[in-house]
A and B are shown apart, each in its own frame.
Chain A
Amino acid sequence: MSGESFAGPAAGLKIAVAVKQVPAGASGAVDPLRGYVLRGGARRLNPHDGPAVEAALRLAEIMEARLAAPWAEASGTDARPEPPAGLRPDSRSDSRPEPRQPVGPDLRPEVEVFSMGPPQADETIREVLSLGPARGRHLCDPAFAGADSLATARALAAALELCGPFRAAVCGQFSADGGTGQVGPALAVSLRWPFVGRVSEILEAGPDRLILRQKWADEETTLRVTLPAVLSVLKDAFVPRLPTVRGRLRPKIVTRLGLSDLPRPDPALYGQLGSPTKILASRRPGAPQRVLTRCSPQEAAAALLAARPDVSRTARPATLFAALSAPDLDVRAEPGQAEPGRTAPKRTPPRQSAPSQAGPARPAPAASSGPVSGRPVAAAGRLLVWLTAEGPGLSRSSRRLARQAAALAAEGGLTPWAAWTADGPPDPARLAGLGLSQALIFRLPADRRRRPDVEAAALAEAIERLKPAVALAPADERGREIAPLVAARFQAGLTADCTSLRFAEGLLVQTRPAFGGELLADIVSPEARPQMATVRTTDRPDDESEAAGAEAREGEPGPGGAPPGPPPEIVELTAPDPPPGVEVLSRRPLTPSDELEKARLVVAGGLGLGGPAGFRKAAALAAALGGTLGGTRAAVERGWLPADRQIGLSGRGAAPELLIALGVSGSAQFMAGVGGAKRVAAVNVDPRAPIFAQAQLGLLTDVDELWPALEELLGPLGAADEA
């Protein structure tokens, strides 16, 4: 799509940015005088949206520079274009826009802020306007209240149509309260624009196309995107500017848009009425169990190893710590009521009691009459799970998700199907024992691998063919982008990042954390099909030993008592073409970083480690557990640890699944840096150390004596001690 539909060459160079006001509690409203976190009724801009505003403003700035001095691009090149100031028109390219005169004020690209929310959201829009956007649009109507991500996207799309034309819309990646990350993709589908998520850099911006960098955990891609398009940006990639004095003093124009202003003022499209998902109930998760024990170094060593997220069974002393094992997707246990000491999932009957406000309950899907053979036909009672190929088999987390999905299907009386894309032939033996009856494999050329838009198109095709009652995708980076694109296409309800799934009265009850884990919400999609969810998985080894190989288990019962697991029947299809608008110019693999911020396990040392020798041991322990090393400011100040390893307010933030704090007292300064840690295990000799108040596992023992005990279990940890 190019700019033909617009009046002038640069008329309508408007960029929309969608922002949300969120409760300040979770992420901190601050004392005006001092900067202290204040909980209460205060609300503020979603912290992911400041970067979106910044990206939109930069987009407008680059476009403006380009209007004066257009950007030339040798076709097909992935070289980074020169910055605007140094650019000369390049006669070799015939695809570039015509050179234009310096931009007049009426042609200057403008940013408009859109926000849907209650009347007080007006304040947040004004705050954003002080950064430079031209005007604000506030979607404010009781008819918009209670919207899920799909209904929100619909309303935003309608508002953009009304106020447009726009060349691009920018969103933050998530909201701090809902955290679904679905509004951006759903907005793109509503507008029928291409979507690019995880944008980390804007390399070029002309009136018709952009060159963007997109960052995944394992690779960085450079994309050319035809406008209009929807972008969602990575929070840390665009540090928001601060308002200038002039910006702060400038008059702010905010227009309020109600239901009757929209092109299709049908209340059934928006707000709670227009939302396919319904919240059944929300509750506080059960307080994590805290253990503080005075123990021998041997007990402490065993407990620490049991706590790690990827512990192998041999090192798991069953009791002390079972309650602290990584939260797994458990299709039956009520979240918040983890049963301490339980080591294997128990089969319990499906819950019969669902709250009565579950909406029109559908009859439970009829149990499938066995695997469907041949080409799939439309039939009820299927559960489809989207997986990720790895060579001729599946990635480890996909294998895990497949088993979990199979067990869930058994509970709901559904037939488990899987689908994925692959660039080579599958090896059926490697797909055995997963509990899957059938699999759709979309073959694609290698150069189309790992494209979310291609995967989304393939998943959509699988859904069209299978008409499943339930469709699941992993809640990983790519799954979180694919699923909303597909859900929006089917106008289906989608629940992001579920930690638990179960069936009640034939409906899939999807449990997810919200407000940064302060609440757990049970969500259902009473009407729309498929019922979609992205599912949080952990990549620790499966309960069955992975090393034994899947083949060996053929014929054995599957997980959770599912039927025996032969390899699934495989249907191979050709992957659909990617939708137009996005072209991959280059890819660059990223080595998984050792950064503290990303590590799943962090061993943090404090002064209690006694010196550099202790830190060498701690580093070796971190390496042995697949984690990384950090430490307190006091340790850094003593030169025991490099400054870039410092955790805390003046150092880095870490959000691992498990933080092992060794000889760390736990100052407020330090704890501020590990607020995101899911679990804390602390070893300290001082029972009064504040760290114990924050630790789910407190081990009262001397760190110096812990090393020999750990080495007995793990082998030698680094070089011999220095004097």
Chain B
Amino acid sequence: MKLHPLSLPLRAIPRGANGGVLGLFLSFAVEQTGIVPTGSVVTGTLLFVAGFALGAGYEAVYYRRFEYDLTADTLDIGSGVLSRREREIPLRRIQNVDISRGVLQRALSIAVVDVETAGGGQTEASLRYVSYDEAKRLQGDLRRGEREGSGAGGGRATAEGAIDADAAAEEAAEPRRPGESEELLFALSPRNLVLLGLVAPDLRALLPVLFFAVPTVGLSIPDLLTETGALTVGPRGAALAIVSWVGTAAVTAARYYDFQLSRVGDELRYERGLLGRYDGSIPIAKIQQVDVRENFLMRRVGYASLAVETAGYTPGEGPSGGSEAAIPLAGRDRVVDLARSIEGFDFDEPEFARPPRRARRRYAVRYALALGLVAGVLWIANTLFDVSFLQYWYAPLAGIALAPVAGHYKWLHRGYDVGGEHVLTRNGFWRRSIAVVPAYRVQTVIQTATPFQRWRSLATVAIDTAGSLSVTDRGARAVDFDVTEAIDLRETVRQGLQASLRTRRDGFATSETATPFVDGGEDGNRSE
């Protein structure tokens, strides 16, 4: 199958414009050499047209030569202009399928489809663009093919084969049509949307917002600095702060406008967006880890967000920086309930063990040292440069009085809890994150101790899964526990994995009685 015909102009025009601009730069460069007269319109126009033709031509050939095909158990894609690539993606291996539409794409009812697998560093298949109906059809068929393909495929002794054989059997007994059995799990109410914007403003949008806000409020940054003392904020500074807060809140709100999470068969589906519209699917069987995240504002009002992690995105990528927001904002109980309703994540109410009190001292000392360092740097700067506010170089030292308090709160929000089937870790005061890792999803367990930790006989245990980490979130970690406790935790997690494997193995042997999550459900393929 080919891409949507509108892909041709939509791809060719931007690429052509790029090529054209490159041509213009080239013309300047050529003029510098003196081969052609400077300031000549002819060279510029000629090279612009040539660059445009080259860029647009490339996309035209790309469009002509791009082909995709959904077979019973693979998605095949042939692409490439100069070098040709034929790619087959086994449907069983697909992690996430995302459909995104910008404003223009929505007006033209076309969409981009991105298919993620666990391998590789980038999106494995990107169809830019197909019609929106085709995108939805693909999203549905990829899921159905995933089950039917492996069911029919039979003798493949692989994990998903096993799980999906079971799912296919289930489907055969109770056939589903696309769109059927869609169960709405969560919808973001308008009230919560506003709240979400206010408690989780998108700070990445701060610079562009400031760029617009500064002239709008009618002030200049130098004026603001003179008006603002070391600790006080002038009225216009306050106005600017409010405008930027509202602006960044609006960006978050636009992103999660009309957010819906639903369950279709064995997948989670989300939809969101005011201007651009995004929807994606997450196979439940591929969820590696869930995170309950609350920043300090959310905790104040008793709200939380939920993120689920699959192995689909490479770190730092993905719609929300590495992991998928399953629930952007809801009451904390609601979030925990929904997390528990995901197969394999029915964890008990956690009781977190805190690090020993000497860890708290470590944080206080660390903050005090950091503040001292900042003051030292400012002092050096003060002796070198003559800038008025540098005379307050000692201001950071006042913060040292607060270092024990900050250390206490950091300590207060750390913890871990290890149960029979899950291990939970908790970290962060400003942005607290509770990571839930099923024993079965553990990849490796890593215990580390820096010299400072060894000095106080503390250690950190990191529990690694195949889930993609975001840049800011460092995964499930129990930080600063006594060494003996850390070793215990490491060994408990290790044994937990083996125990969960045994359970699955037994479930696999007697697949009739097994629950969907635990079970392998393979029907004697191994004896073949």
A binds B: no
